[in-house]
Structure 1
């Protein structure tokens, strides 16, 4: 069930892409689903701190892929620390898709790994638009480290209707909820 939800979220996110865009794909299994859903005829540039995303996109015929450096965390194969933060600090992407440890109306976007949360903060600050990728298991969950308030995000891409408090917190500042 969770993998089906992530696949639906990935496909919905890929539909937001426009030719020539500079895209950031964050770490996590849902970000990997976005990478898998990018059409082979999409031309653009992707920056990521996920080795899994980079490998998935490595044979994509029309993409330029940039990978952050940093300390490698197994499992998600995430790269983080000041190297990753500096990598993203120098980029100004058109659109960013962010992973999440949790999403809550009051706590906002949170994560379990401090260095990854710090990289996400930089990504949000520098991106023209930023969407959180979160399946319904993340609703109301508050992880250890705050990334951003919901008012700092463009929107949420999910597979089911979020609690009214999350939707209202996003909409209060003009954010959108996309249900895959």
Structure 2
């Protein structure tokens, strides 16, 4: 079997079953496990999938940079942002993470809402300029251009000083077994810091992020209080219920 044929079969399996188990795939295709593992390594290097122990899972298309992500699932992100904005209560202190969906959340906050938004994303702060009731605390640090957010020790230290009611978190992957993940080590650290400094964690999850996995783990799935999503798959919703994670339909 040619390498191109093996890759096509692996991608078909991934799309159909949501995972590839190396041993099972080897038996199914009549190949050695080493051959399948080599294919998975090469495909992971090309961004076609995410390797995990024993096989592979879908790679998140949300790993693209900020500019590219602005054109992905715009209607869905708007609905998710609107639903998440409704969770921000008067008088609350909330973290709003970076990302295109978080920007939609900021856009949908009422201008007369009296609340405090702490963010390390300049794009989120700019969305709040015309909302005089909202106090904006902008966390500084090294600008990570890929996601247009502040990262690094200074940002982590500033976040640790806050005691927020809720963090509205952006991720590139949310998986019941592999948890919340993202594509950058420093960004994962900042997201963990916001979770640790918040009473509740609300994950903004457009369809391409659900059941996907990225290289850097942020936190276990159970660290999530609520997932705001648009028509999540039944299997994912069932896993969330077992973990005590609420699903809020956008």
Same fold (TM over 0.5): yes
**Partner Cα separation in structure 1 for residue 231 and residue 146 of structure 2:** 26
Moved more, 53-62 or 21-30: 53-62
Q: Give the alignment's TM-score, normalised by structure 1.
A: 0.94
Aligned residue among 244, 247, 250 for 1:174: 244
For the 8 Å contact 1:153–1:170, the answer to whether it is kept is no
Shift of 1:172: 2.6
Match of 1:6 among 77, 85, 100: 77
Q: Which runs of 4+ in 1 moved over 3 A?
A: none
Number of aligned residue pairs: 179
Partner Cα separation in structure 2 for residue 26 and residue 42 of structure 1: 19
Which of 57, 81, 86 pairs up with 1:15? 86
Residue 46 (structure 1) aligned to one of 110, 114, 117: 117
Q: Which residue of 162, 184, 189 corresponds with 1:113?
A: 184
1:119 to partner: Cα distance: 1.0
Give the structure 2 partner of residue 141 of structure 1.
212
CA distance in 1, matches of 2:147, 2:106: 14
1:141-162 CA distances to partner (integer Å, 9 max, x unpaired)?
1111000111111011111223
Q: Which of 130, 135, 152 does residue 81 from structure 1 map onto? A: 152
How much has 1:163 moved relative to structure 2? 4.7
Deviates more, 1:21-30 or 1:167-176: 167-176
CA RMSD of aligned residues (A): 1.3
Deviation at 1:167, TM superposition (A): 2.5
Q: Distance in 2 between matches of 1:27 and 1:169?
A: 26
- Partner deviation per Cα, 1:81-128 (whole Å, 9 max, x = no partner): 111111111111111100011111111110001111111111111211
Q: 3-state SS of the aligned residue for 1:109?
A: strand
CA distance in 1, matches of 2:139, 2:154: 7
**Higher RCO, Cα 8 Å, sep 6+:** 1
- Report how far residue 140 of structure 1 moved: 1.7
Alignment deviations for residues 58-93 of structure 1 (CA, whole Å, 9 cap, x no partner): 231101101111111225311111111111111111
* CA deviation string 1:8-42 (max 9, x = no partner): 00000011111111011001000001000101121
Q: Does 1:100 align with 2:143?
A: no
Which consecutive residues of structure 2, in runs of 5 or more, have no partner in the other structure? 1-71
- Greater per-residue helix proportion: 2
TM-score using structure 2 length = 0.69
